[in-house]
Chain A
Amino acid sequence: MRRTQVQARLNGADVDFLCEPRQSLLEILRDELGLTGTKEGCSNGNCGACSVMLNGRLVNACCVLAVETDGADILTIEGVADGDQLHPLQQAFLEEAALQCGICTPGFIIAAKALLEREPDATEERIRYWLAGNLCRCTGYDKIVKAVQRAGVQMKGSAS
């Protein structure tokens, strides 16, 4: 099948790749670009394990065609830490024991980051509502919600 060239920004760096029209962004990230931190749980937009930021919007990478991303700015879990400095959300997930198996963790961190950057004061109810697009089967969500609250406090503190 004929492949199309796509140029985009990925985690702050220019990237270009060839893709078939039927390939999702998720497939390109994982299989062509080697960024396997974005996970596949269902490939139909129901679980949120492949959450990434596309031009500042939270999306499921499985529901975006790679050819749509020409000229786009993409952030994946690999771009969340600043060098060896973990993002407050990553640190909070560790300290609050907010992961068990860890497969949903990258998606939750991306989704929570999208929320906290808009609403660092998000209430528990708001966090639960926002994260309802991400499924976790291990934790029962309690420790994830607490980690997001903790990171929110910290992000606000470092912003002011």
Chain B
Amino acid sequence: MTAAEKPSYRVIGTRPIRPDGVEKVTGKALFGADARPAGLVYGKVLRSPHAHARILSIDTRAAEAFPGVLAVATARDLPAASDEVQALGETAVNLKELSDNVLASDRVLYRGHAVAAVAAASVHVAEEAARRIRVEYEPLPVVLDVREAMLDDAPLLNERLLTRSMGKTISDRPSNVASKVQFVGGDVEKAFAEADAVVERHFTTKMVHQGYIEPQTATVQWNPDGEITVWATTQGAFACRGQLAEVLRRPASTIRVIPMEVGGGFGGKTPVYLEPVAAILSRKSGRPVMLTMSRSEVFEATGPTSGTSIHVKLAASGGRLTAAQLDLAYEAGAYPGSSVSAGAMTMLAPYDVENFKIDGYDVVVNKPKTAAYRAPGSPAAAFALEQAVDELARAIGADPLAFREASSSREGTRMVNGMPFPRIGHEECLRAAMESAHYRSPIEGPNRGRGVASGYWFNAGMQSSVTVAVNTDGTVNLVEGSSDLSGTRASLAMQLAESLGIEYSQVRVTVADTDSVGHNDVSGGSRTTFATGLAVHQAALDIQQQMRTRAAKLWGCAEDEVVYEAGSLRCTTDEAKTLTFAGMAAQSARTGGPINGRASLLARGAGGAFGTHIADVEVDPETGKVQVLRYTAVQDVGTAIHPAYVEGQIQGGAAQGIGWALNEEYYYDDDGRLANASFLDYRMPTALDLPAIDTVIVEVPNPGHPYGVRGAGEVPIVPPLAAIANAIADATGHRFSDLPISPRRIVETLHHLE
């Protein structure tokens, strides 16, 4: 929008320092592994060396007898979990499978699958003792590739797994295909027959990891009275509690989850892995127990995002996209539940395509159970679609951005599920990209090329609760329950200050434990600044209303004659009667007691958002190295509450996407052994690998939020895979359809072409 249309805000749009900033630059902030309850002991998990095997027996006697060992746990210590599905942010989890994933009972489904655990006074003793546990395995055939797993004669991970679709079972014999989704519209055959140009291509991507720097860790104290305290690094303390309550079969109220600072999550810190095991070890040892994963355990045993195989056929007619036939197969990992349906729903979102047929398959393979990773499902889908769109634009001789604009979704365009888009900002992003200095500059020189790509993410609403206590000195305490992954304490405090008309410095924010605030869903789906922000705004309105009621009584006027505006109360019928926020706060005790605002809600009106990225690269044909020369990320965020933190989200997402495009992959050998389970071999971008990432913030306000917030965190990881691939195609004249586009792949491909 233009500056003239934008509402003028006092606090929103400024760049104050985050409330948790000083603690984090001085080393005082306490992250998951920094919990130190009295009497703390440490544990270690024993993991499967096989990618697929039946567990015949587990003999823990030697470990139990090892000097210094306090407790040993196996799946026999876990109660039987119910076979039901619990919503978990953007994903859902079957609790029986969750329980089996936490400690395998009869079968291991991937290398690194937890089998047993030991607690001891020192982690070294626990590790030595764990090695003395004897597990007898019967190895089973392994299946690792998504398309191979779909074949009729593929080894089965679960002999009871039947394919489901739309809540119904659609197969009569077991397979590795857990579910199928389908979206159909228009007449695809006819559109292809009448098209000016058709492009058809197959794409693959490998499993990649979120790569948060803080490994999973959990500390649990189980008291003899059954009260359980958990120090967790989690994107959602309540989701952690809910999973734990279910796996342990304990009432939710007996479990208190204390959210420690989270050292990166990106979706990966929503499932529980260690908490139930630490709980069992604590119950058996009588001590608080901390379990922390090594980096290789994080890679092998937590949830990466799916490897995918995607077939795309597109048609253009009259200068725009007219038809799409898409087939997506996503690896779920060891248990069902990949992000394929999100991939299928987001893939065509940027475009108004009349004719489409989309099939998606959720497929189990002998790899770790996948978890959410930033816009789960969408980046791989965009990698495939946006390359094909690029190819189609070239085929008809159109500018790639102009072709996208001509085909773009806008308000009222129907998504593939039939729902019309509310106000969205894809066209605004495309125009901002076209007008950017970057896109208007020439790209010159040998082996250099430019690529563009768009991407979409729904953004989420879900549940939030907050309370705001007004202190008699005019300061306020905001108590919320959304894990702060990136500065949301600041974005929430800013909205509260804006809504109450007070200063940011008057707000103190606490992310509370599960006993101290109402339910909050996970910090995921880019929802916190939007949905918890909505709750904060409602709590502010609650305070305003309470203050108006009190002022009316004080002044002897009617309540509707009292106006709250810009941090002050005034009487519309008597100009002499005014009170500041602080003045009213000071009179709390005389006017009815403490003033506390509260809100709890299920947020509707989440604003889906788009981004368009531009990448310039140079490819060294000798070494295959790709240098990103220049990168610009354009994104509609609705309204940027704290622009610096929004820029940071966009830059960070783009960096992850660049790593995904060029280097990152789970590299398995034929037996299902992950060959690169370290930061040395799983090559994430360093400061030296990246250019400065320029950001262009587009603000098309979300009508579903009082300040227009859409959410910012996930969209930026969607376009980079394709933007980089399109740039490499421009530079080399060859289209790479498999990720990562690593130096080896480039050298081999270009050499082969010669």
Q: Which residue from A30, A49, A94, A131 sits with its C-beta under 8 Å from B213?
A: A49
Set of chain A residues within 8 Å of B18, measured between Cβ atoms: 94, 97
Set of chain B residues within 8 Å of A123, measured between Cβ atoms: none
Please state if A41 and B215 are interface contacts (CB–CB under 8 Å). yes
Q: Tell me the minimal C-beta distance from A82 to chain B in angstroms.
A: 11
B678 CB-CB contact with A under 8 Å:
yes
Set of chain B residues within 8 Å of A42, measured between Cβ atoms: 215, 294-295, 678-679
C-alpha gap A22/B654 in the complex (Å)? 40
A95 CB-CB contact with B under 8 Å:
yes
Please state if B27 and A135 are interface contacts (CB–CB under 8 Å). no
Set of chain B residues within 8 Å of A140, measured between Cβ atoms: 648, 651-655, 685, 690, 693
Set of chain A residues within 8 Å of B688, measured between Cβ atoms: 128-129, 131-132
Known: A77-B26, A78-B26, A141-B655. A46 touches B679 (CB 8 A): yes
Please state if B30 and A40 are interface contacts (CB–CB under 8 Å). no
With CB as the reference atom, state the residue of chain A lying closest to B654: A140
Please state if A43 and B294 are interface contacts (CB–CB under 8 Å). yes
Set of chain B residues within 8 Å of A76, measured between Cβ atoms: 27
Which parts of B14-32 form the interface with A (CB within 8 Å)?
15, 17-18, 20-22, 24-31
Set of chain A residues within 8 Å of B26, measured between Cβ atoms: 37, 77-78, 80-81, 86, 90
Please state if A94 and B655 are interface contacts (CB–CB under 8 Å). no
With CB as the reference atom, state the residue of chain B lying closest to A40: B33
B212 CB-CB contact with A under 8 Å:
yes
A136 CB-CB contact with B under 8 Å:
yes
Q: Tell me the minimal C-beta distance from B484 to chain A in angstroms.
A: 9
Q: Which residue from A36, A99, A135, A141 sits with its C-beta under 8 Å from B21?
A: A99
Please state if B648 and A44 are interface contacts (CB–CB under 8 Å). no
Please state if B687 and A103 are interface contacts (CB–CB under 8 Å). no
Q: Is chain A's binding surface mostly helix, strand, loop or mixed?
A: loop
Please state if A128 and B687 are interface contacts (CB–CB under 8 Å). yes
With CB as the reference atom, state the residue of chain A lying closest to B125: A1
With CB as the reference atom, state the residue of chain B lying closest to A90: B25
A4 CB-CB contact with B under 8 Å:
no
Give the A interface residue count (CB, 8 A): 59
A100 CB-CB contact with B under 8 Å:
yes
Known: A46-B678, A47-B679. A100 touches B486 (CB 8 A): yes
Per-residue CB contact flags for chain A residues 27-63 toward chain B (1 = under 8 Å, else 0) read 0001000111111111110110100000000000000
Per-residue CB contact flags for chain A residues 67-103 toward chain B (1 = under 8 Å, else 0) read 0000000001110110000100010011111011111
C-alpha gap A135/B684 in the complex (Å)? 8
A154 CB-CB contact with B under 8 Å:
no
Please state if A39 and B678 are interface contacts (CB–CB under 8 Å). no
C-alpha gap A140/B203 in the complex (Å)? 26
B196 CB-CB contact with A under 8 Å:
no
Q: Tell me the minimal C-beta distance from B326 to chain A in angstroms.
A: 30
Q: Which residue from B210, B486, B487, B690 sits with its C-beta under 8 Å from A141?
A: B690
C-alpha gap A124/B28 in the complex (Å)? 29
Which parts of A1-33 form the interface with B (CB within 8 Å)?
1, 20, 22-23, 30
B441 CB-CB contact with A under 8 Å:
no
Set of chain B residues within 8 Å of A144, measured between Cβ atoms: 687
With CB as the reference atom, state the residue of chain A lying closest to B295: A42
Q: Tell me the minimal C-beta distance from B716 to chain A in angstroms.
A: 9
B36 CB-CB contact with A under 8 Å:
yes
Per-residue CB contact flags for chain B residues 404-432 toward chain A (1 = under 8 Å, else 0) read 00000000000000000000000000000
Q: Tell me the minimal C-beta distance from A41 to chain B in angstroms.
A: 4
C-alpha gap A106/B649 in the complex (Å)? 20
Please state if B693 and A103 are interface contacts (CB–CB under 8 Å). no
Please state if A103 and B655 are interface contacts (CB–CB under 8 Å). no
**B44-52, B260-268, B306-314, B394-402: which lies at the interface:** B260-268
Set of chain A residues within 8 Å of B680, measured between Cβ atoms: 44, 46
C-alpha gap A77/B31 in the complex (Å)? 15
Please state if B213 and A136 are interface contacts (CB–CB under 8 Å). yes
A137 CB-CB contact with B under 8 Å:
yes
A142 CB-CB contact with B under 8 Å:
yes
C-alpha gap A78/B685 in the complex (Å)? 28
A116 CB-CB contact with B under 8 Å:
no
Which parts of B668-693 form the interface with A (CB within 8 Å)?
678-680, 684-690, 692-693
C-alpha gap A133/B263 in the complex (Å)? 18
Please state if B24 and A141 are interface contacts (CB–CB under 8 Å). no
Set of chain B residues within 8 Å of A38, measured between Cβ atoms: 27
B656 CB-CB contact with A under 8 Å:
yes
Please state if A101 and B264 are interface contacts (CB–CB under 8 Å). yes
A143 CB-CB contact with B under 8 Å:
yes
A66 CB-CB contact with B under 8 Å:
no
20 additional A-B pairs beyond A78-B26, A86-B22, A137-B656, beta carbons within 8 Å, are A30-B34, A37-B26, A39-B263, A41-B263, A43-B294, A86-B25, A99-B21, A100-B645, A101-B265, A102-B20, A105-B25, A128-B686, A131-B688, A136-B687, A138-B652, A139-B648, A140-B651, A140-B652, A140-B655, A142-B651
Pick the 5 closest A-B CB pairs, nearest first.
A37-B27, A103-B263, A140-B655, A102-B24, A77-B27
